[in-house]
A and B are shown apart, each in its own frame.
Chain A
Amino acid sequence: MTEQILAALAQLGIKTYLISETDKESLECFFVKKRLDLKRSTDTKEVEVTVYRAFEKDGKDMLGSSIVQIHPGQGKEEILDVLAGAYRAAALVSNPYYELPSGRKEEPVPANGRFAADGLAESMKNVCQELFAADHRTDVFLNSAEVFLRRHKTHILNSSGVDVRYETYDVWGEYVVQCVEPQDVETYHQFKYRDLEAGDLQKRVEEAFETTLARARASKAPKAGVYTVLLSGDQVKTLFDYYLSRASTNMVYQKYSNYEVGCQVQGGQVEGDLLTIRLKAKDPYSPEGIPMKDRTLLEEGVLKTLHGGARFAYYLGVEPTGKYRCISVPVGSTPLEEMKSKPYLHLVSFSDFQMDDFTGHFGGEIRLGFLYDGETVTPVTGGSVSGSILDVQDRLTFSKERYHSADYDGPFAVRIEGLRVAGEA
């Protein structure tokens, strides 16, 4: 199919382009309790072509672009028609000129690990085994689960010599844990792995069982007021994603972020822990074919790099890195036990904990928390917490304990003082 597209681009005189062709296979299982409700597989070829067009406007060099899909089975005339349409559209896109990443034909990067060795069907059996291994209790159990195992073979090439191929496997999914006594409740969980980490999914399900048992004992919202809050697990990653987003070339170029390399992102006088964030490369190449590697985003609160694709990096005069979503953060020096030595509200689970990258406001409805009033620990549910990272970032405390997920490796918990909670009157 690539040859057909290249021939059509040549026929149309389109000299600047990016082609991304991905063969996608998946095997998917949907469970209700311990029964397989539906099995699915997918087998698709997805081809995206970005057509670029250089032109002058008001004496300035411009480079417009437009993205189109080419579908399997499309004939020569239809492909010509679609690409010609994209070329016309690119002439309307009066963005300043920039250069595409350059490269050469590289050796394909094969997938490694057990998924690649075992294939989709055998891997599915192994994942399901892990998922259901702990599901033998009567007081708490898996209500339902979905498992998606995927193999992607990606080929990226552009008109500046980039010609790279790589293969990836991953599994992702979700499971719901239910507990019916003393009240009928559920908790929702997600998982994602690039390779099967023996025992990890089973351990997470066991932890989810304990969380759900605690949720079943929680019946009241905390009283409205101001609390020292502990956020933990995936919420910590959501909190740190603010810095990842603000440090993207897209945000900086459009002046939605005032970050510049060398700035102290946590403000002038930081009384709490200083934040160091490493960017972790998960795929060998970005969607534009830029080689991805691990980098330092923040060192002790100081911005070390901006990350993003070719266009905005060119405008800002920085190295194009590709866009990152996976981070690692060194743990802090405060043990969780010490964090819990004074009154706190530890918020474990939310309906949907959100961080607004523009305003810095974060918050969500509390599904499960533990309130320590100095004497007893009480599970709570309901109400909401809200705050602004800009107000608290100079006084964060990171736990010594570590947490890791597919896109995060870092402190398990963050202590934030003075957060408002909406709860019981």
Chain B
Amino acid sequence: MKVQESDFIRQKKPLLTRLLNRLLEEFPYASILAVDSKARLYSASRRNISVSEDDLLTMRGFVAKVSDGSHYAEYSFNEVSEEKLEEICRKVHDLAALSSSILPQGLEEQEYPVPTEDPTVFEGSTEYEVDPEEMGDDAVLEHLKALRDKGLSLSDQILDVYAFCTYQKYTKLFLSREKDLLQNVMWTNGTVSLMASRGEEIKDYYKSYSCLGGMELLSQMEAGVADGVGMVLKLLESEPMVPGEYECICDPEVTGMIVHEAFGHGVEMDMFVKDRALAPSYMDKYVASELVTMHDGACAAKESATYFFDDEGTMAHDTVVIEKGVLKNGISDLQSAMVLHTAPTGNGRRESYRRKAYTRMTNTFFEGGTDDVEEMIASVSYGFLLENPSSGMEDPKNWGIQCMVNIAREIKDGKLTGKIFSPIVLTGYVPDLLKSISMMSPNVQLGGGGYCGKGHKEWVKVSDGGPYLKARIRLG
């Protein structure tokens, strides 16, 4: 079934069209983005139950963006009515004229052209199988409680099981002189996190699940509980990593984190504009092993970061970033593309209507290869199988990489020994790491359970992944 348009957006569209036309009387460019988003969180742990709206993702609001012909200004608001139209127009006008009074001596305003637009009318909806609202809060919560109870029942050593699920269903409307775009999207995420204690230290292990769709996701979550219990108990016996550079096999989740942190951030073209990325000087050069082909795009996969158009009204793309080891393209928002004289790639995304649009990743992944996973492990004389990534940080300027990984399974003479090391800090120089990739498995898996920040803020939903890969990596 298709996600339905929000009644609120449908009712407000005539008013927003009048607001747009009123702004276009004063400004050569104006656009309105309207968002109606509903998101709910469900969780069950040993001593806590929760069913609430997600206050970060539940919102109704608008952004009016204008250009006076050379400078841009944006006004975010969440009250619109016939009576308020003039007040909104006045606030946009005042903001557009504000620069001279807030800029100290020596600073000036960047000049931009007015964007050219092709006439586009679009309406699209993603699909789902089980509507969370039809399923009901009680049924969702019962499912999570069952997962929790199953995890707790499997071992007395389990301190807690936190079963969590969330969905976001949103409608976005983008209006400008030439564009009238509407999209209705829903994604769902779930996590089962298990905890066990070793004295004061609490070890945890999580399995996350995601889909572009609805509560059909819940049926996938049960299978991982027993494995999760086994893993967290093994973590109790884990040892700290002996720092060094090792042959490593990365599972698709760790591959996804490397794709995202190592290279995805490095090709966000707003960083090119600021001279904060090394990538421009490596265009059409080898930056990775010839085995590596990398994609990013809101229509490159069906996952949590899939949409039809971005928050600046650019239609979604499937961008080939690296082709057989050679850097081919970056990803960009509209304003960066204007500076760089390139075509925008549909990656202009906002955390919410309250925030600025930046170049952001969407669904980012490596294509698969031809190697069998067992053969990959057998090829390692001494190294680790890396699993369960937790977080990472980008460094587009210097191509450093930092990923935190929960589990390194020891491999000796081509066999897993059963010994586990944790936690792991994975670091290195991105091209060294990507050029060291020597094997890749065929199957690509994406996970969309996480959020991506720009620096330390601006959280947006992303997915990432790829195949199992073999590379040489510094672990600490």
Q: In the bound complex, how far is the Cα of B101 from the Cα of A32, in angstroms? A: 19
Interface of chain B residues 110 through 149 with chain A (CB within 8 A): 110, 137-138, 141
The distance from the CB of B72 to the nearest CB of chain A, in whole angstroms, is 5
Is A68 within 8 A of B53, CB to CB? yes
Interface flag for A383 (CB, 8 Å): yes
B476 A383 Cβ-Cβ under 8 A: yes
- Flag A344-383 by CB within 8 Å of B: 1 or 0 each: 0000000110101011110111010000000000000111
B99 touches A352 (CB 8 A): no
Q: CA A88 – CA B141 in complex, angstroms? A: 13
Nearest to B36 among chain A residues (CB) is: A71
A321 to chain B, nearest CB (A): 19
Q: Within 8 Å of chain B (Cβ to Cβ): is A333?
A: no
- CB-CB < 8 A to A351: which residues of B? 393-395, 400, 402
> Does the CB pair A176–B276 fall under 8 Å?
yes
* Contacts A128-B103, A359-B201; A422 near B475 (Cβ below 8 A): yes
Chain B residues with Cβ below 8 Å from A364 are 393, 402, 425
Do residues A35 and B109 form an inter-chain contact, with CB atoms below 8 A?
yes
* A259 and B195 alpha carbons, distance in the complex (Å): 17
Q: A384 an interface residue at 8 Å Cβ cutoff? A: yes
CB neighbours of B102 from chain A (8 A): 27, 29, 39, 121, 124-125, 128
B230 at the interface (CB under 8 A from A): no
> What distance in Å separates the Cβ of A386 from its nearest Cβ neighbour in chain B?
5
Interface residue stretch chosen among A42-50, A109-117, A202-210, A277-285: A42-50
Contact B109 A36 (CB under 8 A): yes
A41 at interface (Cβ–Cβ under 8 A)?
A: yes
Contacts of B52 in A (CB 8 A): 65-68, 89
- A184-197 vs B, Cβ < 8 Å mask (1 yes, 0 no): 11101010000000
Say yes or no: B356 contacts A358, CB within 8 Å.
no
Say which residue of A125, A188, A386 sits within 8 Å of B240 (CB atoms).
Answer: A386
Q: In the assembly, what is the distance between CA of A255 and CA of B199, in Å?
A: 12
For residue B273, which residues in chain A have a CB less than 8 angstroms away from its CB? Answer: 32
Q: A51 CB to closest chain B CB, in angstroms?
A: 10
Whether B49 and A384, one on each chain, are in contact in the complex, defined by CB atoms closer than 8 angstroms, is no
Complex: chain B residue closest to A36, CB-CB:
B109
Contact present for A30 and B50 (CB under 8 Å):
no
Contact A421 B243 (CB under 8 A): yes
Q: Does B25 contact A (CB under 8 A)?
A: no
- Interface contact B99-A92, CB-CB below 8 Å: no
Expressed in whole angstroms, the minimum distance between the Cβ of A62 and any Cβ of chain B is 10
**Assembled-state Cα–Cα distance A365/B356 (Å):** 29
> How many A-B contacts if CB must be within 8 Å?
242
| CB within 8 Å of A: which B82-107 residues | 91, 95, 98-99, 101-104, 106-107
Interface positions, chain B 38-85, Cβ under 8 Å from A, are 45-53, 55, 58-61, 71-81
A384 pairs with B427, CB closer than 8 A: yes
Q: Does chain B have a CB within 8 A of A98?
A: no
Q: Give Cα distance in the complex from A129 to B105, angstroms.
A: 8
How far in angstroms is the closest Cβ of chain A from B33?
13
B356 touches A174 (CB 8 A): no
- A128-B104, A224-B244 are known contacts. Are A41 and B400 too (CB-CB below 8 A)? no
Given A36-B109, A253-B47, A188:B401 Cβ within 8 A: no
B residues within 8 A CB of A356? 423
Contact B274 A71 (CB under 8 A): no
Q: Does B108 contact A (CB under 8 A)?
A: yes
Partner of A34, one of B47, B72, B98, B108: B108
Decide: A45 near B55, CB < 8 A? Known: A36-B99, A367-B400.
no
- A336 sits at the interface (CB 8 A): no
Q: B101 and A73: CB pair below 8 A?
A: no
A95 close to B427 (CB less than 8 A): no
> How many residues of chain A get a CB closer than 8 Å to chain B's CBs?
83
* Cβ–Cβ < 8 Å partners of A128 in chain B: 102-104, 107
Given contacts A143-B276, A351-B402, A354-B404, contact A69 B204 (CB under 8 A): no
**Interchain CB contact under 8 A, A190 and B456:** yes
Are B274 and A42 in touch, CB under 8 angstroms? no
In contact, B243 and A420 (Cβ under 8 angstroms): yes
Whether the Cβ atoms of A352 and B391 lie closer than 8 Å is yes
Any A CB within 8 A of the CB of B474: yes
B354 engages A44 (CB within 8 Å):
yes
Is B48 in contact with A95, judged by CB distance below 8 angstroms?
A: yes
Q: Given the complex, which residues of B lie within 8 Å of A178, measured CB to CB?
A: 275-276
| Distance A65 CA – B43 CA, assembled complex (angstroms) | 13
State whether the Cβ of B155 lies closer than 8 Å to any Cβ in chain A.
no
A255 touches B160 (CB 8 A): yes
Contact indicator B47/A224 (Cβ below 8 Å): no
- Contacting pair B356 A40 (CB below 8 A): yes
Q: How many Å from the CB of B211 to the closest CB on chain A?
A: 23
Contact A39 B91 (CB under 8 A): no
Chain A 226-284 interface residues, beta-carbon cutoff 8 Å to B? 253-256, 258
Question: Is B200 located at the chain interface by the 8 A CB criterion?
Answer: yes
Residue A294 lies at the interface, judged by CB distance under 8 Å to chain B: no
A384 to B423, CA, bound (A): 13
Closest chain A residue to B52 by CB distance? Answer: A67
Fill in one digit per residue for B441-468: 1 if any A CB lies within 8 Å of its CB, else 0. 0000000000000011100000000000
Determine if B335 is an interface residue (Cβ-Cβ < 8 Å). Answer: yes
| Residues in B whose Cβ lies below 8 Å from that of A88 | 137
Contacting residues, chain A, for B413 (C-beta < 8 A): none
Cβ of A159 within 8 Å of any chain B Cβ, yes or no, is no
The residues of A that contact B474 with a CB separation of less than 8 Å are 383-384, 422
Determine the chain B residues whose CB is within 8 A of the CB of A66 once the complex forms.
51-53
A29–B391 alpha-carbon span in the complex (Å): 29
Say yes or no for B370: interface residue by CB 8 A criterion.
no
- A206–B59 Cα gap in the complex (Å)? 40
Chain B residues, CB < 8 A from A55:
none
Known: A42-B76, A185-B397. 16 other contacts (CB 8 A): A28-B356, A36-B103, A36-B107, A37-B72, A41-B95, A64-B49, A66-B52, A68-B52, A69-B55, A71-B59, A73-B81, A144-B276, A253-B47, A354-B391, A360-B200, A422-B476
For the complex of A and B, the 3 pairs showing the least CB-CB separation, nearest first, are A422-B476, A422-B243, A365-B402
